[in-house]
C-alpha cells in the first residue's frame, strides 16, 4: 500500500517550507506569500495527491470540524431518517462531518457513546430522539455545546427543536372539520410523551374552538402503536351507537389498521369514514385510498439542529433557543364529507 | 465554558510524568509502572474528568479509529437503514466510530465527500448502495481500504457483501410452489440492477426445476416501483385469460398495489390470489392480510462490511472476499393453496 503523501513531500517538491505549504493551501490571509508561490504549491499538492490532514489541523485549531449525532434509534428506524438527512446536508454545507451514534435507548450505552464522541473531540453534539419527548441533557457532555432534536428539556439554557404537536393535530382535525365532520374520533398513543399529550391538546382545542363538546368515548389510547392497535381502537369506535364519521390517528401505521377495521365493518373510506394519519410514511400514498396525513418536519429539524449547534460552537455564550416547527398536511383521498 | 482537562493537569495532580499518565491509561504493557501508580493515575484522571484525546492518539498511531460510511441514500431512506444499524453495532463492538456521508447519487458530491473522509483520516471506507448493483470503486479512495455493501465490483481485489438475490427469489417462488401454485407471476423492476436480474434468474430457475415452462406473459417489469407500479402490473396480469394464482413482487411497496388491484377485481387474498413480497418493510405486517415476504440481510451486510473492513485495515495484503448473504422468508397470511 503506498503511504500517504505528507506535507513535507509537497514542501520539498515545491522547494518551499512546510509553513508556506500550509499557509498556501489554507488561504491564510496574513501570510506574505506571492500568488505565484500559492499557485505552484497547489499545483504540486494536486499532482502528488496530497490530502490535508484534518486530524492535525483539528488538534492545532482545537476544532475537529466534526459533530456528534447521537440518537436513541433515530438513525436506524425507517420513521425518522429525514432528521439524519437534514443534519447531513446542513453539516456538509458548513464543511463539517457527522460522527453517528445510536444508543438504542440504553442509558449506559449512551454514556459510553457520548464519552467516545468527546474522545474524538467533536465540536458539539446533536442529541435526537425518535419521538418528541422531554429529556435531561446527559451530564457526561460537560461544557460541549449540545442541541436537542425532536426532544426538549426543562432547562431553558438548552437549545432544542421539536415539532409543533398542537399545530399538527389542529391541522389534521381542521381538515376533518372543513369537510363537515362533527363526530371526530382520536386514536392516540398511551405513552405520556409530548407527541401524545400535544396532539391530544390540539385535538381538544380545535373541537372546542368549533363549538363541539368533547366526548371522551371518542378518544382511545391504543395499547399498541402498530396497525394492530389502530385496528382494535377503530373496532371499538365503529361499534359505538353513534359512531364517528372521521378519525384522526396518532400514526400512519395505526391508520393502516383503521382501514382494515373499516373494511371488515363494511365501511368505505372516505365515503363512509374519513381518516387522517400522522407521519407521512412511505406507504401512506400506497394505501387504498391514499392516506391524508401530517408530515413531521424531520428534515427541517435536522438542518435547524446543525445550524443552531454551529452557532453555539462559534459563540458559546449565545442565548439558547427553543423552537417548534410546523408539520405539513399532505392531502390524498381519505377525507370526504360525512355520509348524510 | 470550562476548558478541557489536559494530560498535563493529570500528571501534575498525580505527581508523575506525562508519559506515565499516558502509559497508565493506555495499558501499555511494556511500561514499567507499578500497579499502585496506575491505580493512582486512573483515580486522578477520573476525578478531574480527563478525557483522552483520540485525535492526538490517532495522529501518533496513524490510526484515527474512525470508519467512513458513504452511501447513495442508504442512511436517509427508510428502506435500508438496517445496514447502518449493523455497521454501527459492529463498529461499536470494535471501539471504532463511524463518519456518515450521503452522496445522494451525485458522483461529484460523492468525490467531494470521499475527499473529506480522507482528510479526516478514516482508516477505511464502507461504500454502500440502496439496491444491489454493480459499481466501480471511486478512484479518489487511493490505497484506503474499502468494502462494498449491497454493491459489487468487477474487480476481484475488492471485498463486497451483497444479498443472494437468486436464493431470495427461490425462497419466495418456492413458498408459492409448496402451496400448490403452478401459474406464478413475477412483477419485477425495469432497471437493469443486479437485484432485478438476480431475482428474475431465481424465479426462472425455480420454475424450471419444478418442471414448469416459462410463460413470458406472466413476467412484467413495472415502470414504477411504488404501489402504483404494482397496481398496474397486477391489473394486467389479473386480466389474462388464464390468470396467475400466485404473484411474486420485487418489493413490498409493489405488493401493496397488488392488494388494491386484487380488491378491485373482487379477488380475496389469499383465497383467490397468493402474494409474496420482498423487503419486509415496516408496513408489511399491517397489510390485510399480513404480507408474506423475504427480508433482506441489511443488518448482516452492515456488520459483515465493518468486520471485513477492520480485517483489511489490520492486514492490507489479505485477500479480498466477495460474499452473498441469504434473505429470510417471513411467513404471514398472504399465501394459501390456489383456488380449485
Cβ contact, residue pair B54, A98, below 8 Å: no
Q: Compare CB distances from A226 to B59, B286, B316 and report the shortest one's residue.
A: B286
- Give me the pLDDT at residue A59, please: 74
**Nearest-neighbour CA in chain B from A43: distance (Å):** 17
* Among the four given CATH numbers 3.40.630.30, 3.40.50.2300, 2.40.30.60, 3.40.50.1820, the one describing domain B165-296: 3.40.50.2300
- Give me the pLDDT at residue B34, please: 86
The residue with greater pLDDT, B289 or A24, is B289
Helix ranges (DSSP H) in B98-193: 107-119, 165-178
Whole-angstrom distance, CA of residue A28 vs CA of residue A11: 17
Residue in A closest to B312 by C-alpha: A1
Q: Which residues of B touch A91 (CB under 8 A)?
A: none
Average pLDDT over residues B317-338: 96
Helix ranges (DSSP H) in chain B: 7-14, 18-26, 35-48, 54-61, 81-93, 107-119, 165-178, 194-209, 227-238, 252-264, 298-314
- Name the band, by pLDDT with cuts 50, 70 and 90, for residue A6: confident
- Name the band, by pLDDT with cuts 50, 70 and 90, for residue A1: very low
CATH level 2 (architecture), domain A7-52: Orthogonal Bundle (1.10)
Tally of residues, chain A = 340
Q: Compare CB distances from A257 to B59, B226, B286 and report the shortest one's residue.
A: B286
Whole-angstrom distance, CA of residue A90 vs CA of residue B76: 14
Average pLDDT over residues B67-88: 85
- Give me the pLDDT at residue A251, please: 94
The residue with greater pLDDT, A52 or B110, is B110
Q: Which residues of B touch A2 (CB under 8 A)?
A: 142-143
Q: Compare CB distances from A102 to B85, B116, B287 and report the shortest one's residue.
A: B85
Cis peptide before A270 (omega within 30 of 0): yes
Tell me what the pLDDT averaged over chain A comes to: 91
Beta carbons of A79 and A137 less than 8 angstroms apart: no
Query: What are the two backbone dihedrals, phi and then psi, of residue B293, each rounded to the nearest 5 degrees?
Result: -155, 170
What class has domain B66-163+298-326?
Answer: alpha beta
Q: Which residues in B132-161 are b (16+ Cβ under 10 Å) and which e?
A: bbebebbebbeebbbbbbbbbbeeeebbbb
**Proportion of chain B above pLDDT 70, given as a percent:** 97
Residue in A closest to B316 by C-alpha: A1
Residue in A closest to B80 by C-alpha: A78
Beta carbons of B257 and B317 less than 8 angstroms apart: no
Can you name the CATH fold of A66-163+298-327? Rossmann fold (3.40.50)
pLDDT tens-digit map of A104-131: 888 889 988 998 999 888 999 999 998 8
The residue with greater pLDDT, A112 or B58, is A112
Taking phi over 0 as left and psi of -120 to 50 as alpha, with beta for the rest, B189 belongs to beta
- Give me the pLDDT at residue B1, please: 35
Whole-angstrom distance, CA of residue B79 vs CA of residue B63: 33
pLDDT tens-digit map of A258-282: 999 999 999 999 999 999 999 998 8
Cβ contact, residue pair B120, A257, below 8 Å: no
Whole-angstrom distance, CA of residue A188 vs CA of residue A219: 7
- Name the band, by pLDDT with cuts 50, 70 and 90, for residue B2: very low
Beta carbons of A72 and A41 less than 8 angstroms apart: no
All cell numbers assigned to A86: 437534514
pLDDT tens-digit map of A190-213: 888 899 999 999 999 999 999 999
pLDDT over 80 (residue A290):
yes
Q: Which residues of A touch B58 (CB under 8 A)?
A: 55
B64, B76, B266: best to mutate for the A interface, most A CBs within 10 A: B76
**Nearest-neighbour CA in chain B from A300: distance (Å):** 14
Cβ contact, residue pair B76, A98, below 8 Å: no
Cβ contact, residue pair A226, B285, below 8 Å: yes
Find which of A36-40, A227-231, B202-206 is predicted with most confidence, using mean pLDDT. Answer: B202-206
CA A283 and chain centroid, separation: 19
- Give me the pLDDT at residue A122, please: 94
Q: Compare CB distances from A288 to B56, B120, B263 and report the shortest one's residue.
A: B263
pLDDT over 50 (residue A2):
no
- Give me the pLDDT at residue A87, please: 95
**Proportion of chain B above pLDDT 90, given as a percent:** 64
Q: Which residues of B touch A97 (CB under 8 A)?
A: 99, 101, 116-117, 120
Tell me what the pLDDT averaged over chain B comes to: 91
pLDDT over 70 (residue B3):
no
Whole-angstrom distance, CA of residue B80 vs CA of residue B129: 9
Lowest mean pLDDT among A144-153, A239-248, B22-31, B177-186: B22-31
Whole-angstrom distance, CA of residue A53 vs CA of residue A6: 9
Cβ contact, residue pair A227, B285, below 8 Å: yes
- Give me the pLDDT at residue B55, please: 76
CA-CA-CA-CA torsion for B137, B139, B142, B148, nearest 10 degrees?
Answer: -10
Average pLDDT over residues B59-80: 82
What are the residue ranges of CATH 1.10.260.40 in chain A?
7-52
Beta carbons of B255 and B249 less than 8 angstroms apart: yes
pLDDT tens-digit map of B225-262: 888 899 999 999 999 999 999 999 999 999 999 999 99
Average pLDDT over residues A302-324: 95
**Nearest-neighbour CA in chain A from B168: distance (Å):** 22
Whole-angstrom distance, CA of residue B51 vs CA of residue B6: 8
Average pLDDT over residues B119-137: 90
The residue with greater pLDDT, B332 or A340, is B332
- Structure ipTM: 0.81
Whole-angstrom distance, CA of residue B90 vs CA of residue B301: 11
- Name the band, by pLDDT with cuts 50, 70 and 90, for residue A304: very high
Q: How many CB pairs under 8 A join A and B?
A: 166
**Nearest-neighbour CA in chain B from A260: distance (Å):** 6
- Name the band, by pLDDT with cuts 50, 70 and 90, for residue A83: very high
- Give me the pLDDT at residue B23, please: 83
Q: Which residues of B touch A285 (CB under 8 A)?
A: 226-227
pLDDT tens-digit map of A146-194: 999 999 999 999 999 999 999 999 999 999 999 999 999 999 998 888 9
- Give me the pLDDT at residue B64, please: 84
The two beta strands, A328-330 and A292-295, are antiparallel
Amino acid at each position: 500500500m503506498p503511504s500517504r503523501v505528507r506535507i513535507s513531500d509537497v514542501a520539498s517538491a515545491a522547494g518551499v517550507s512546510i509553513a508556506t505549504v500550509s499557509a498556501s493551501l489554507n488561504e491564510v490571509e496574513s501570510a506574505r506569500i506571492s500568488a505565484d508561490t500559492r499557485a505552484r504549491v497547489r499545483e504540486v499538492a494536486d499532482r502528488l495527491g496530497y490530502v490535508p490532514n484534518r486530524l492535525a489541523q483539528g488538534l492545532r485549531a482545537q476544532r475537529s470540524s466534526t459533530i456528534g449525532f447521537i440518537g436513541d434509534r433515530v438513525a436506524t428506524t425507517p420513521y425518522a431518517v429525514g432528521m439524519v438527512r437534514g443534519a447531513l446536508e446542513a453539516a456538509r454545507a458548513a464543511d463539517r462531518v457527522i460522527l453517528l451514534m445510536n444508543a438504542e435507548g440504553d442509558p449506559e450505552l449512551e454514556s459510553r457513546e457520548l464519552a467516545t464522541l468527546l474522545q474524538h473531540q467533536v465540536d458539539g453534539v446533536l442529541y435526537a430522539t425518535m419521538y418528541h419527548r422531554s429529556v435531561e441533557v446527559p451530564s457526561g457532555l460537560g461544557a460541549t455545546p449540545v442541541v436537542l432534536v425532536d426532544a426538549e428539556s426543562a432547562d431553558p439554557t438548552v437549545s432544542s427543536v421539536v415539532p409543533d404537536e398542537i399545530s399538527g393535530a389542529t391541522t389534521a382535525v381542521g381538515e376533518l372539520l372543513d369537510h363537515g365532520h362533527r363526530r371526530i374520533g382520536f386514536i392516540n398513543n398511551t405513552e405520556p410523551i409530548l407527541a401524545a399529550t400535544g396532539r391530544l391538546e390540539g385535538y381538544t382545542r380545535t373541537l372546542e374552538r368549533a363549538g363541539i363538546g368533547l366526548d371522551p368515548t371518542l378518544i382511545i389510547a391504543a395499547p399498541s402503536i402498530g396497525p394492530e392497535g389502530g385496528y382494535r381502537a377503530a373496532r371499538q369506535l365503529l361499534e359505538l351507537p353513534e359512531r364517528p364519521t372521521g378519525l384522526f390517528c396518532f400514526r400512519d401505521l395505526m391508520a393502516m389498521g383503521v382501514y382494515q377495521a373499516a373494511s371488515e365493518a363494511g365501511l368505505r373510506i372516505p365515503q363512509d369514514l374519513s381518516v387522517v394519519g400522522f407521519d407521512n410514511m412511505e406507504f401512506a400514498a400506497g394505501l387504498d385510498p391514499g392516506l391524508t396525513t401530517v408530515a413531521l418536519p424531520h428534515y427541517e429539524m435536522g438542518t435547524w439542529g446543525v445550524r443552531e449547534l454551529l452557532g453555539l460552537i462559534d459563540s458559546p455564550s449565545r442565548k439558547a433557543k427553543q423552537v417548534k416547527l410546523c408539520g405539513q398536511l399532505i392531502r390524498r383521498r381519505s377525507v370526504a364529507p360525512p355520509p348524510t
